[in-house]
Amino acid sequence: MATIKSWIKAARLRTLPLSVSGIILGSFLAYSSGFFNREIFILALLTTLGFQIISNFANDYGDGVKGTDNEDRIGPKRTLQSGEIKPDQMLNAIKITGIITLLVALLLIYVSFGKENIIYSLIFFVLGLVSIFAAIKYTMGVKAYGYYGFGDLFVFLFFGLLSVCGSYFLYAHTLDYTILFPAFSIGSLSIGVLNLNNMRDRDSDIKSGKNTLVVKMGGKFAKYYHYCLLISAFLFASLYTIIHFSSVIQFLFVIAFIPIYKHLYTVYKNKNLIDLDPELKKLALSTFLFSVLFGIGLVL
């Protein structure tokens, strides 16, 4: 019988701050525009956390049964790999978490749109179903898109565009095109975390046939790609701030890029892939810090 400690390990708590960064930023953007609802904020956070936990469970299961998680893997040992959780137990956990998350998402949709906006409700219901499907299919199944190099695209769409723009729309029921710029920033930083993870696991992924974008482009170009992602995140955030400039405090988010650029130098100098593992946490937390500081700069 799997222990509570094993399930907490499988949920991978260190990934959760990154997953809610887009919701936090989208909520700050809505608040600064005069739209906010505490219930929507709480339900959006819970829904997003549910999606992330489903993804983590599915990732543990998919890589575990495919043998991708093996002795060659550099990162922390997963629960299926170690035998702490059995495959059928993980499958049941994915189903239960999926049902609970979908119910919370339905409540979120109802609180946001009520009975009056049926079209919006249907669109977000479909988006909820697609989000669960995408979380599961990253590594699970024969055609798992994470094994074909499409993980980066899906992270950008769901962690960036849907998370920021979708959460803003839940409050405002409208969308300003400039919201795309901070959404691009969160999306780029989130891809950066995935790219870093894939750089760390490149050698074991090659042996396991997991053709991530890093495997396809090689270690050298993966670094260039990483630089472009993090620098573009800064540029998109700056562009939004310049367009809506009213006070220098809006550039408070620059503080978050101090550890990010220090991280970039570490990646530039890196020769041993195992040394990239602690950088994952640093970049994820820096992304969370960026979302908070960017939001505070908007409302002060």
Structure confidence by residue, pLDDT tens digits, 247-265: 999 999 999 999 999 999 9
- 194: its two tokens: 């995935």
Question: Among 208, 206, 213, which residue's Cα sits nearest to residue 155?
Answer: 213
By the 8 A CB rule, do 41 and 168 touch?
no
Q: Is residue 275 part of a domain?
A: yes
Global pTM? 0.94
Q: Is residue 4 part of a domain?
A: no
Helix axes 38-66, 16-32, angle to 10 degrees: 150
Structure confidence by residue, pLDDT tens digits, 56-92: 999 888 888 877 766 766 767 788 888 899 999 999 9
Q: Which amino acid is at 278?
A: P
- 23: its two tokens: 């919701």
Q: Is residue 93 part of a domain?
A: yes
**Cα distance between residue 59 and residue 111, in whole Å:** 31
Q: Is residue 5 part of a domain?
A: no
**Cα distance between residue 27 and residue 47, in whole Å:** 14
Structure confidence by residue, pLDDT tens digits, 198-238: 999 998 888 888 899 999 999 999 999 999 999 999 999 99
**Cα distance between residue 89 and residue 247, in whole Å:** 53
Task: Tally the domains of the chain.
Answer: 1
Q: Which domain holds residue 229?
A: 16-299
Q: Is residue 9 part of a domain?
A: no
- The whole-chain average pLDDT of the chain stands at 93
Q: Is residue 188 part of a domain?
A: yes
